[in-house]
Structure 1
Amino acid sequence: MYNHAIEYEPTREEQSHAYAKVTARIIPFLFLCYVAAYLDRVNVGFAKLQMMSDLGLSDAAYGLGAGVFFIGYLLCEVPSNLIMMKVGARRWIARIMITWALVSAAMMLVKSPTSFYITRFLLGVAEAGFFPAVALYLTYWFPPSRCAKATALFMTAIPMSGVFGGPLSGYILHSMSDLGGLAAWQWLFLIEALPSLILGVAAFFFLDDRVEDAKWLTAQERAILATNLKSEQHHRHLNSLREGFANKKIWVLSIMFLFFTMGLYGISFWLPTIIKQSGVADPLNVGLLTALPYGAAAIAMVMVSRSSDARRERRWHVAIPGLIGSLGLLVSALNSHDTTISLVALTFGTAGVLTTISQFWVLPPSFMGGAAVAAGFAVANTIGSVSGLVAPYLIGLVQGVSHSTTGGVLALAACGVLGSVMVFMIDSKSVNH
């Protein structure tokens, strides 16, 4: 859209100022959006504490309803990202958030197992495409050489939502029982849907689809960003929709991402157990203590992303945190009798696993662009989301055989090792720039 070249070479300070301005405008807003997404996805786990007895749901019915979410999510993930390419990020991200907010709020009206299954399925359909849409949106502003830091800053919402989400849900369940004739779990769904609704409306007015639409940037700043994006396009030799689906590299990355997200479920499963075994009975206090590992993860994600961008190296910045995450799971599982050792190990494990996942999303846009990266993001996230069904089943299967949760966590640690090894199946020239 720019018909003239920049007549001078921008200084490093001018470059840094332009990207700092973009980061300050976009990242905090997307961060809040992802925290809201987390609340609406996992609050059913907190609501379960009360809604099962109120509705007469069995453990089997609850488990099926929790899993049905992923069916709707998996079916609509790829189509959602492809639609965003046509209608624009601003409209589509707003649509996703408003729709899932309304469906999440409708969970308060559930009266039976059937209505529970239907609303959970619709919630998966509504939320499908949000994360890959945001990952794709970031590539519209940041070239591959700067993508690691931007992605990591956005994805710190994962550990930070673990800090805020648990205490908030615990407080609502503790304080709002029978208020206004509603059960506390009904208030939970209603209150935690409001941030998504508000942010969804705000997204329509706040986000810009492209650099050239950003009136809050000066003409010089828009030119700097557009020129940098264009100058790094030659690295992205895959651009068509067919290449996004058919290229071998994206399928290797997708399976690798599945292994990494299995490790994430290992962290989610094991961390509350270790804290509870230490003698902390109150769920609210358990949620507060998880702030230590998640806080460490947020710091590690940003530090590793800075190193990755500065060194223009991607594979080792994925593999090393992945191995650290697996080692943390291993040590914590083998020392489950020692709360201190287990918690320290899980702090390193949580930092490693979450850092690996944030670094993973820098890999696809390194060699793909246009419709290819839209399809690639969606395929990878779809396959990775299968871990939401596989990981709990794997833990349960191993626990049934060994009569211990340790074996299940060790199996997930092994998945992290496999993912870390697989990253070297992608040649360094494709991603290290």
Structure 2
Amino acid sequence: MSKETFTHHELASAQIMTPFIENAELEKRILRKVDLRLIPPLFIMLTKFFLQDLDRNNIGNAKEAGMQKDLQLSSSDYSLALSIFFVGYLLLEVPSNMILSRTRPSLYLPSLMLIWGCLVIAYVGVNSKEALIGLRFCLGLVEAGFFPGVLLFMSNWYKKTELARRFSIFYCASLVSGAVGGLIAGLIVDHMQNRGSLPAWKWLFLIEGVLTIGCAIIAMFILPDFPATTKWLTDEEREYAIRRLEEDNNSSEVQGITHLQSFLFAVRDWRTWLFVVAQSLCTCAGTITYFIPTLMASLGYAGNKIQYMTIPIYCVALVVVLICCFSSDMQNERPKHIMVMAFISTISLIIVAAVENPKARYVFLAFGAAGIWCCSPMTLSYLSNIICRPMEKRAVSIGIVNALANLSSIYGSYIWPSSSAPKYIPGFSVSIALMACCIASAFTLMVLTKKYPYELTKDGGVNESAQFTKADKIGEV
């Protein structure tokens, strides 16, 4: 464990000895400072996250830009290249978050960015489907820790009622990536084909890999670590920043938990597995992201217009996600928002699958995708609110949920076979079923987490009175 992390735990523990008194003016001042200091570097990482998703989403743009033809990829080869990424993701996501909980985020997260930026540039050397599949697997290994790591990092700075709107800004980078990725892909297809003996799809990855590395280097110098180790807060502000999180149950008074203990606490908590189910439904449905360019082709668009027509879909989703997450924070409510967005998505996708008019299908596809993309950040914020401490357990729970949920993307990669064009009934049917189940899972979480509230014991476990299996609690139902 690093010296910075020791200091973080020691200072947090010391503040528990004095009573906490709320100070609205001081809290506003701290939040202004935190937002000003955290959001710009997170915007760099947000920009990087949208570059990260460009790296992921561009597999779809690259497919339509000639990669499938150049590498002689069949529909099943393309699905394998998509799904193998999530195998790597699954293997290292939990270990990565366990490491992050004991080290400095300002170094660890940018280092991940730097490594996968180099791997993205390596697409330039890909000349076979085997090389593509191997590189995608390596990218999954490296990118595994970034998304859950940022959520864990932000939960160490913000209260439950502040988290969703900040996380939504970060998450929306992936939607910006879809819009900007389509624009960049269209321009590259127009102007960079066979420049320097490289096809346009290789230029796509080369340019974004270089930008990724640049963002990683900048983030290393400006990203902070923890409230207790931050020099730009005064002593009074630092103490209050720590204590307000402790009062909100986002910070932990439990110290000295080992990796094994935190892992066991997480896997023994039934809440973790309910969130695995909920997030898996969102993530599996979310594989529609990788087929948006293909769906544009099925609506009659061709050439660079395929990439350009993806832009409005991501713009609609961007607005919807921000409104939903800000509303969730202001009302301090998660599951009902998830249910509403999953319902909107379900109805919209039913219309897309049922109608023939291309314009109507395009409009409702935008709202159907927006509903899917809303549910994922909302579910992760809900998880961070419910399993709020100790930090080490929260880190493992986030890692487990995100890792196993991404495993569902392996199945999701195969529900859009090219043989089902142009209606893609299998893909839409499965997505509709997943979103309907998402409504049920959010309702189940809402009922059970209210009935069996999270109560922490001194050793980091969960109080027996909060356990789902407790006989006397069941008897009270």
TM-score computed with the length of structure 1 as normaliser: 0.88
Q: Post-superposition shift, 1:242?
A: 1.5
Distance 1:118 1:274, change over 3 A: closer
Letter in 2 for 1:208: P
Q: Post-superposition shift, 1:145?
A: 2.1
Which among 176, 183, 187 is matched to residue 167 of structure 1? 183
Identity, % of aligned pairs?
27
Which among 311, 316, 338 is matched to residue 318 of structure 1? 338
**2:208 matches 1:192:** yes
Q: Post-superposition shift, 1:387?
A: 2.9
Q: Post-superposition shift, 1:69?
A: 1.9
Which among 75, 80, 95 is matched to residue 64 of structure 1? 80
Q: Report what 2:162 is aligned to.
A: 146
Q: Report what 1:262 is aligned to.
A: 284
Q: Report what 2:108 is aligned to.
A: 92
Letter in 1 for 2:411: V
Which among 366, 374, 385 is matched to residue 406 of structure 2? 385
TM-score computed with the length of structure 2 as normaliser: 0.81
Q: Post-superposition shift, 1:235?
A: 9.6
Which among 344, 366, 369 is matched to residue 347 of structure 1? 366
Q: Post-superposition shift, 1:93?
A: 0.5
CA contact (8 A) 2:182 2:311 kept: no
Distance 1:340 1:107 in 2: 35
Distance 2:295 2:250 in 1: 49
Moved more, 26-35 or 138-147: 26-35
Distance 2:74 2:233 in 1: 55
Which among 357, 371, 374 is matched to residue 395 of structure 2? 374
Letter in 2 for 1:30: M
Q: Report what 1:243 is aligned to.
A: 265
More helix by share: 1
Distance 1:235 1:316 in 2: 26
CA contact (8 A) 2:165 2:325 kept: yes
**2:55 matches 1:35:** no
Q: Report what 2:469 is aligned to.
A: none
Distance 2:206 2:308 in 1: 23
Q: Report what 1:114 is aligned to.
A: 130
Distance 1:421 1:237, change over 3 A: farther
Q: Post-superposition shift, 1:191?
A: 1.1
Distance 2:193 2:294 in 1: 26
Which among 399, 416, 420 is matched to residue 435 of structure 2? 416
Which among 367, 377, 386 is matched to residue 358 of structure 1? 377
Letter in 2 for 1:347: A
Q: Post-superposition shift, 1:385?
A: 1.0
**2:424 matches 1:405:** yes
Q: Post-superposition shift, 1:275?
A: 4.3
CA contact (8 A) 1:243 1:372 kept: yes
Segments of 4+ moved more than 6 angstroms: 234-239
Which among 69, 83, 94 is matched to residue 78 of structure 1? 94
Q: Post-superposition shift, 1:250?
A: 0.9
**2:311 matches 1:291:** yes
Q: Post-superposition shift, 1:76?
A: 1.4
Distance 1:234 1:404 in 2: 46
**2:23 matches 1:10:** yes
Q: Report what 2:34 is aligned to.
A: 22
| SS in structure 2 at match of 1:177 | coil
Distance 1:281 1:44 in 2: 17
Letter in 2 for 1:32: T
Moved more, 289-298 or 228-237: 228-237
Q: Report what 2:222 is aligned to.
A: 206
Q: Post-superposition shift, 1:220?
A: 4.0
Distance 1:351 1:104 in 2: 27
Q: Report what 1:44 is aligned to.
A: 59
CA contact (8 A) 2:156 2:251 kept: no
- Quote the RMSD (CA, aligned, Å): 2.8
Distance 1:170 1:100, change over 3 A: same
Q: Post-superposition shift, 1:382?
A: 1.1
Distance 1:282 1:123, change over 3 A: same
Moved more, 237-246 or 71-80: 237-246
CA contact (8 A) 1:236 1:366 kept: no
Aligned length: 425
* Structure 2 residues without counterparts, runs of 5 or longer: 1-10, 455-477
